[in-house]
Amino acid sequence: MVKVLYEMNKGERGKILAIRGGRGRVLRLAELGIIPGEEITLLQKSFGPVIIKVKDTNLALGRGIAQNILVEVENGENKD
Amino acid sequence: MEKIKIRVALSGNPNVGKSTIFNLLTGLRQHTGNWPGKTIEKKEGIYEKDNYILEIIDLPGIYSLTSHSLEEIIAREFIIKEKPDVIVVIVDASSLERNLYLLIQILELYSRVILVLNMIDLLHEKKYKIDIEKLEKKLGIPVVPMIASKGIGIGELVDKIIKVYKGELICKPEKIDYGNLEYIIENIEEKIPKNIDGYNSRFIALKLLEGDDIVKNICKERINYEEIEKIIGKREDTAISLANARYQWIKKILMDTLEKPKTPVITLSDKLDYIFTHPILGLPLSFIILGLVFWLTYTINNLLSDPLENILGIFQKFLEKYLLFLPSFWRALIFNGIWQGISILLTFIPLIIIFFFFLAILEDTGYLARVAFVTDRIMHILGLHGKAFLPLMISYGCNVPGIMAVRTLENEKDRILLILISSFIPCVPRILVSAFFANVFFPKYASLILLSLYFISFLSVFISGKIIRKFFLKTSFSPLIMELPLYKLPNFKIVGIYIWEKLKAFLQRAGSVIVILSSIVWLLGNYPQKNIENSLLAYIGKLFLPLLKPLGFNWQLISALIAGFVAKEASLSTISTIYQSSGENLRNILLKEISPLTAYSFMVIQLLYIPCAGTSATIYKETNSLKWTIFSIIYSLTFAYFISFILYIIISLFKTLL
């Protein structure tokens, strides 16, 4: 199932499908490991930003960014 | 025998322990400055071993070598222009995959590189296994495992730096294969010289494909750029393809050198994060922890301020005895003008030491990043993000440490905005002056009046943030993108060095400004005659009277405001000097001379009108720009004037209506 990162549930995993945004923003995120094809886990949601795990790093992303990342979520409630 | 100098540059992502390694190597033999014309800190230091002197420069923390940020441009230009003898790239061993991305780009520019795998203990905590020899072979450069916070691995690093310098260790980095992009890269390389401004042709080709504006402009000046533009074409996704190729290459390197457990280990950091970043518990917890830091900082500072003042007093008496031969005007200038400035400067010392002790611990443990996460939502109301929370909060005590804490933000324009709006946060002295007036004029509603002042300052932060962003910085606050480093224990030796460096930089660069400004204000009040009524201060007060007369001001109030520039509480003592009375007498005089509405306008102006001398000096030190310092002063003066004027009119209207 495809979801916007911001709407993923805590603990859900998936693969990044696409990132919307200007060239600079997209490249900046790529340098932090947020790049299409990469595996991503949503670790924590607050009432604005989210915490994700990508390439062994925990990153906090503001809501504006989390709303622009599309993720193909693993549909495995039975997993883990 | 002449010692041999080796110039070493430290590079790495933010939060990898780069400054810890820098501090361990250089100790107190370091110097902090700014990169020319930039708000970014430049740290240099030396380390001696046997016959060698290592001249170490700490490059700004970066994720990449593109030209997104000033930090990246500085690092890149330093490498090609200064050509250090050895570059040490420091990475967080527990998140190698992401960290090696920067290494690759540095290797594309430079080959005498040593890789430091810092925090190797955290890698073990995650139950990862790494084969260092194999990694060295695959990368083609020396690798040093390290636990910088415990000082482990520093010796080995120094040995390897010397060996690389002597040529005993050879760096032959593996070239990255960009797959199907290789042929475009080669095509571009053919069109450009082997070397432009110190950049090699391959690096130039890669940066052009990434859409790097600086490199593009360099090329446009030298060669026929249109031909290259044809090759690049309208490809929008090449930058991402390059990034992908780099990550693929990293995966290949790590495939049989880094072994991860099948199921990820839940580390202590994960458990702590469950509590500290909890959507409901996280925010109140951060309020409690930071509230405690705030309380401790100002409580300890107040405990120390009395003894400090006594010591200063003794010292002053001592000095006075030896300077009796001077004419009385000069004696007065020295003791009431210059010495007062020095005392103000010295009273900042305990505050800075205590605050930076806590800040270092919050930062080193990794908790500060969590604070930014949990407060991000509420800071959005102000158009800021979570990293702005601590600097603004600490400004409620005193703007000076608040503005110094702005350094924790990455983006230069964000830092400038935050510095400018910080001075609208009412510090304790401003509230004390307001409290005095509130008690005189509105004894029954004093606390309500103070509350309204806090509200006005909050509104001013909000409105000014919008105005400055829109008309002066012309950019919005960057959204939060922040790494959450693993929690770790701080190293107290490093914390000590950190505090010392902050204090030294403050005294050196803000010190003279504070002393000069307060001497000038003293002169205004005592020249040409010692009598304040005939002084320049009174003269200037009368000069500006037409501007503030509509609000019911007299020259005495304006002179008090001018004196308040030295330190906000000075406006009160100046009023007392002018009216030559204090306590109950002063109360009665004020009640007779000023209407309550004028008193309220005075409080509002006093709240917002100008950053005090200490704050102005700190703004100058932190922005490294006279332009922004003057802007801050003029902007706040204008803003305060308009706000109090508008409030005066609104309240007057209400009064006539009621």
- Reported ipTM: the value is 0.92
pLDDT exceeds 70 at position B497: yes
The closest CB to that of A35, out of B236, B240, B273, belongs to B240
Q: Do A56 and B97 touch (CB under 8 A)?
A: yes
Question: For B97-137, what is each residue's pLDDT tens digit?
Answer: 999 999 999 999 999 999 999 999 999 989 999 999 999 99
Neighbours of B585 (CB within 10 A): 12
pLDDT exceeds 90 at position B329: no
Q: In the prediction, which pLDDT does A76 show?
A: 61
CA distance B376 to chain A (A): 7
Tokens describing residue B382: 């102000």
pLDDT exceeds 70 at position B640: yes
CA distance B146 to chain A (A): 19
Chain B CB contacts of A44 under 8 Å are 273, 277-279, 373
CA distance A1 to chain B (A): 24
Q: In the prediction, which pLDDT does B626 show?
A: 92
Would you say B245 and B181 are in contact if contact means Cβ atoms under 8 Å apart?
yes
Please give the angle made by the CA atoms of B460, B285 and B493, to the nearest 5 degrees: 95
pLDDT exceeds 80 at position B658: no
Question: How is B346-392 classified by DSSP, letter by letter?
Answer: HHHHHHHHHHHHHHHHHHHHTHHHHHHHHHHHHHHTTT--GGGHHHH
Instruction: Please tell me which residue of chain B has the smallest CA distance to A57.
Output: B95
Q: Do A56 and B239 touch (CB under 8 A)?
A: no
Which pairs count as long-range contacts for B546-550, CB under 8 Å and 24+ apart, including other chains? B547/B641, B550/B645, B550/B648
Q: Which residues of A touch B (CB under 8 A)?
A: 23-24, 26-33, 35-38, 43-49, 51, 54-65
Q: In the prediction, which pLDDT does B317 show?
A: 85
Neighbours of B389 (CB within 10 A): 22
Q: In the prediction, which pLDDT does A77 show?
A: 53
The stretch A48-76 carries a mean pLDDT of 91
Chain A CB contacts of B373 under 8 Å are 44, 46, 49, 51, 60
Q: How far apart are CA B420 and CA B405, in angstroms?
A: 13
First to last CA, chain A: 18
The stretch B360-377 carries a mean pLDDT of 92
Q: Whole-model pTM?
A: 0.87
Q: Do A28 and B386 touch (CB under 8 A)?
A: no
Q: B37-46, B251-260, B565-574: which has the highest mean pLDDT?
A: B251-260
**Average of per-residue pLDDT values in chain B:** 90
Would you say B146 and B118 are in contact if contact means Cβ atoms under 8 Å apart?
yes
Tokens describing residue B202: 């391959």
Q: Which residues contact B592 (CB under 8 A, 6 or more apart)?
A: none
Pairs of residues, one from chain A and one from chain B, whose beta carbons lie less than 8 Å apart: 112
B540 or B225: which carries more pLDDT confidence? B540
**Residue at B99: amino acid letter:** N
Q: How far apart are CA B194 and CA B196, in angstroms?
A: 7
Q: Do B479 and A64 touch (CB under 8 A)?
A: yes
**Residue at B58: amino acid letter:** D
3-state secondary structure of A45: strand
Judged on CB neighbours under 10 Å (0-12, 13-18, 19+), B270 is middle
**What stretch of H or E contains B526?**
helix B492-526
Q: In the prediction, which pLDDT does B341 show?
A: 81
**Average of per-residue pLDDT values in chain A:** 89
Chain A CB contacts of B95 under 8 Å are 55-57
Neighbours of B112 (CB within 10 A): 19
Q: How far apart are CA B144 and CA B132, in angstroms?
A: 8
Question: For B414-443, what is each residue's pLDDT tens digit?
Answer: 999 999 999 999 998 899 899 999 999 999
Question: How is B92-149 classified by DSSP, letter by letter?
Answer: EGGGHHHHHHHHHHHHTT-S-EEEEEE-HHHHHHTT-EE-HHHHHHHHTS-EEE-BGG
Q: What is the DSSP letter of B198?
A: T
Q: Do B210 and A27 touch (CB under 8 A)?
A: yes
Q: How many residues does chain B have?
A: 658
Q: Which residues of B touch A (CB under 8 A)?
A: 63-64, 66, 68, 94-98, 101, 210-211, 236, 239-240, 243-244, 247, 273, 277-279, 282, 369, 372-374, 376-377, 380, 385-386, 479-484
Q: Which residues contact B463 (CB under 8 A, 6 or more apart)?
A: none
- pLDDT classification of B561: cutoffs 50, 70, 90: very high
The stretch B399-414 carries a mean pLDDT of 89
Q: In the prediction, which pLDDT does B358 show?
A: 94
Q: What is the DSSP letter of A78?
A: S
What is the arrangement of strands in the sheet containing A57-61, beginning at the earlier edge strand? Answer: A2-4, A69-73, A13-19, A39-45, A50-54, A57-61, B481-483
Question: For B501-546, what is each residue's pLDDT tens digit?
Answer: 889 888 887 888 888 888 888 888 887 776 777 888 899 999 999 9
Q: In the prediction, which pLDDT does A80 show?
A: 45
